Structure 1
Amino acid sequence: MRVAVVGAGISGLAAAYTLVKAGVEVVLYEKEDYLGGHAKTVSVDGLLLDLGFMVFNRVTYPNMMELFESLGVEMEKSDMSFAVSLDDGKGYEWGSRNGFSSLFAQKANIFNPHFWQMIREIFKFKADVLRYLEELDNNPDKDHSETLEHFIRSHGYSELFQKGYLIPVCASIWSCPSEGVLRFSAYSVLSFCRNHHLLQTIFGALSLYNLHVTCLVMYLLYCRKLCCLLELIQLSILVSPFPFSLILISLMLPFTFQLFGRPQWLTVKSRSQCYVDKIREELESRSCTIRTRCAVESVFSTDAGCCVVGEDCSKDIYDGCIISTHAPDALKFLGEQATSEEARILGAFQYNLHSTKLPFLVTLNPKRVPKHSLLKWCTSHPFPSVAASKASLKLENIQGKRRIWFSGAYQGYGFHEDGLKAGVAVANNVLNNDIVLLRNPKHMVPSLMECGARFLVTRFLANYIATGCVTLLEEGGNIYILEGATTNNTKKAILRVHNPLFYWKIATEVDIGLADAYINGYFSFVDKENGLLDLFLRSEKFPWEESKSNGFFNLFLDETMTYSSAIFKTQNEDLKTAQLRKISLLIKKAQVEGKHEVLEIGCGWGSLAIEVVKQTGCRYTGVTLSQEQLTFAKRRAKEAGLEDCTNFILMDYRQLPKYHKYDRIISCEMIEAVGHEYIDDFFSCCESLLSTDGILVLQFISIPDQRYDEYRRSSDFIKEYIFPGGCLPSLNRITTGMATSSKLCIEHIENIGIHYYQTLICWRNNLLANKDKIIALGFDEKFVRTWEYYFVYCAAGFKSCTLEDYQIVFSRPGNIGAFGEPFKKQDDLLARLPPSINHVYRDFTAGLQAHCGSRGKTKRDGGFLSGMVEWAASALW
Structure 2
Amino acid sequence: MNNTQKKKIAIIGSGISGISASYFLSSKYEVQLYEKNNYLGGHTRTINISTDNNLPIDTGFIVYNNKNYPDLIKFFDHLHVQTLNSEMSFAVSDIFSNIEYSGKNFKTLFAQYKNIFSFDFIKMIYEIYRFYKLCKKTKLHNIDNNMTITDFLNMHNFSMYFRNLHIYPLISSIWSTNQIDAGNFPFYLFINFFRNHDLFSLKNRPQWKFVKGGSNSYIKKILDHKKFHYTLNSKISKVIRSNNQIKIIENKEERSFDYLVMATHADQVLKILDKPTELEKNILSIFEYTNNKAYLHSDSKMMPKDKKTWSSWNFIKNKKNNHAFTLTYWMNNLQKLKSNSDYFVTINPDKIPKLIHDETSFKHPKFNLLTSKYQKSLKNLQGINNTFFCGAYHGFGFHEDGIQSAAYVANMLEVDIPWKRDKTFYNRLQY
Fold conserved between structures, TM > 0.5: yes
Aligned residue in 2 for 1:395: 378
Contact 2:292 2:364 in 1 (8 A): no
> Using a 3 Å threshold, how does the CA distance of structure 1 residues 177 and 86 change in structure 2: closer, same or farther?
same
- Please show how residues 432-581 of structure 1 align to structure 2 within 5 Å: none
1:293 maps to amino acid: N
Determine the structure 2 residue equivalent to 1:265: 208
Matches within 5 A, 1:783-862: none
Offset of residue 183 of structure 1: 1.6
Within 5 Å, give how 1:608-647 maps onto structure 2: none
Deviation sequence 1:436-480 (CA, Å, 0-9, x none): 8557679xxxxxxxxxxxxxxxxxxxxxxxxxxxxxxxxxxxxxx
Q: Residue 267 of structure 1 aligns to a residue in which SS?
A: strand
For residues 368-422 of structure 1, what are the alpha-carbon distances to aligned partners after superposition, in whole Å with 9 as ceiling and x for unaligned?
Answer: 3335644331111111211111111111111110100010011111111111111
Distance 1:191 1:439 in 2: 19
Query: Cα distance, 1:85 vs. partner?
Result: 2.0
Instruction: Give the secondary-structure state (helix, strand or coil) at the position aligned to 2:382.
Output: coil
TM-score where L is the length of structure 1: 0.40
- Determine whether 1:280 maps to 2:223: yes
> For the residues of structure 2 that align with 1:15 and 1:441, how far apart are their CA atoms?
19
Q: Which of 119, 131, 146 is matched with 1:125 structurally?
A: 131
Give me the whole-angstrom Cα distance separating, in 1, the residues matched to 2:240 and 2:142. Answer: 38
Q: How far 1:321 moved relative to its partner?
A: 0.7
Q: Which amino acid aligns with 1:175?
A: S
Tell me if 1:319 matches 2:327.
Answer: no
Larger Rg: 1
Residues 60 and 440 of structure 1 are in contact (CA less than 8 Å); yes or no, is this contact kept in structure 2? Answer: no
Aligned residue among 208, 233, 242 for 1:293: 233
Match of 2:42 in 1: 37
Q: Distance in 2 between matches of 1:268 and 1:354?
A: 23
Aligned partners of 2:179 and 2:325 also within 8 Å: no
Across the aligned residues of Structure 1 and Structure 2, the Cα RMSD in angstroms comes to 2.6
Structure with the higher fraction of residues in strand conformation: 2
Q: Which runs of 5+ in 1 are unaligned?
A: 138-142, 203-260, 443-877
- In the alignment, the residues of structure 2 paired with residue 330 and residue 136 of structure 1 have an alpha-carbon distance, to the nearest angstrom, of 35
CA distance in 1, matches of 2:421, 2:371: 22
2-structure distance, mates of 1:42, 1:439: 38
Structure 1 position 368 matched with structure 2 position 381: no
> SS at the partner of 1:152?
helix
Contact 2:136 2:200 in 1 (8 A): no
**How far apart in 2 are the matches of 1:114 and 1:318?**
62
- Residue deviations 1:619-661 (CA, integer Å, cap 9, x gap): xxxxxxxxxxxxxxxxxxxxxxxxxxxxxxxxxxxxxxxxxxx
Question: What is the DSSP-based 3-state SS (H/G/I as helix, E as strand, rest coil) of the residue aligned with 1:379?
Answer: strand
Q: Does the residue aligned with 1:363 lie in a helix, a strand or coil?
A: strand
Pair 64,102 (structure 1): closer, same or farther in 2 beyond 3 Å: same
- CA gap of 1:395–1:437, structure 2 versus 1, over 3 A, is farther
SS in 2 for 1:378: strand
Question: What is the aligned counterpart of 1:15 among 11, 21, 29?
Answer: 21
Q: Could you tell me which of 268, 289, 292 is aligned with 1:351?
A: 289
Counterpart AA for 2:61: F
**Per-residue CA shift, 1:793-846, capped at 9, x if unaligned?**
xxxxxxxxxxxxxxxxxxxxxxxxxxxxxxxxxxxxxxxxxxxxxxxxxxxxxx
Amino acid at match of 2:123: Q
Letter in 1 for 2:34: Y
Structure with higher RCO (Cα < 8 A, 6+ apart): 2
- The code of the aligned residue for 2:121 comes to F
Does structure 2 retain, via aligned residues, the 8 Å contact 1:62–1:439?
no
The percent identity for this pair of structures is: 33
What residue in structure 1 maps to residue 3 of structure 2? none
| Aligned counterpart, 2:279 | 341
2:48 is paired with a residue whose SS is: strand
Q: Output the amino acid matched with 1:277.
A: K
Compared CA separation, residues 155 and 200, structure 1 to 2 (3 A): same
Task: Measure the CA separation in 1 of the matches of 2:423 and 2:258.
Answer: 31
Q: What's the TM-score, normalizing by structure 2?
A: 0.79
Task: Name the aligned partner's letter for residue 114 of structure 1.
Answer: D
- Per-residue CA deviations over 1:696-741 (Å, capped at 9, x if unaligned) read xxxxxxxxxxxxxxxxxxxxxxxxxxxxxxxxxxxxxxxxxxxxxx
Question: Equivalent residue of 2:362, what SS?
Answer: coil
2:74 paired with 1:66: yes
Q: Which runs of 4+ in 1 moved over 6 A?
A: 432-436, 439-442
Contact 1:410 1:418 in 2 (8 A): yes
Find the counterpart in structure 2 of residue 172 from structure 1: 173
* Aligned equivalent of 1:383, options 366, 384, 407: 366
**Equivalence map 1:86-165=2 (5 Å):** 86-88=94-96, 90-91=98-99, 93-97=100-104, 99-136=105-142, 143-165=144-166
- Aligned partners of 2:271, 2:199: CA distance in 1, in Å? 36
For the structure 1 residues 385 and 94, does the alpha-carbon distance in structure 2 shift closer, same or farther, using more than 3 Å as the test? same
Return the alpha-carbon distance in structure 2 between the equivalents of residues 376 and 179 of structure 1. Answer: 26
Shift, 1:179, TM fit: 3.1
Whole-Å Cα distance in 1 between the matches of residues 239 and 61 of structure 2? 30
| 1:754-769 map, 5 Å | none
Matched, 1:49 2:14: no
Q: Provide the C-alpha distance between the structure 1 equivalents of 2:40 and 2:194, rounded to a whole number of angstroms.
A: 30
Q: Partners in 2 of 1:304 and 1:181 — Cα distance?
A: 42
Whether the 8 Å CA contact 1:6–1:296 is kept in 2: the answer is no
Between the aligned partners of 1:406 and 1:382, the Cα distance in structure 2 is 15
Q: Which residue does 2:343 correspond to in 1?
A: none
Shift of 1:309: 1.8
| The one of 244, 250, 270 aligned to 1:331 | 270
Aligned AA (1:298): K
Q: Name the amino acid aligned to 2:398.
A: F
Between the aligned partners of 2:181 and 2:14, the Cα distance in structure 1 is 30
1:761-812 deviations in Å (ceiling 9; x for gaps) = xxxxxxxxxxxxxxxxxxxxxxxxxxxxxxxxxxxxxxxxxxxxxxxxxxxx
- Asked whether the 8 Å contact 2:260–2:387 carries over to 1, the reply is yes
Deviation at 1:35, TM superposition (A): 0.8
Aligned to 2:337: none
> Do 2:45 and 2:61's aligned partners in 1 also have CA atoms closer than 8 Å?
no
The 1-side partners of 2:279 and 2:425 are apart by 36
1:191: how far off? 1.8
C-alpha change, 1:133 and 1:393, in structure 2 (3 Å) is farther
Q: Please state which structure has a larger fraction of its residues in helix.
A: 1
Q: Distance in 1 between matches of 2:135 and 2:325?
A: 30
Paired residues of 1:421 and 1:437 also in contact (CA < 8 A): no
Moved more, 273-282 or 118-127: 118-127
Equivalent position SS for 1:377:
strand
The answer (yes or no) to whether the contact 2:150–2:184 under 8 Å persists in 1 is yes
1:28 to 24, 33, 42: 33
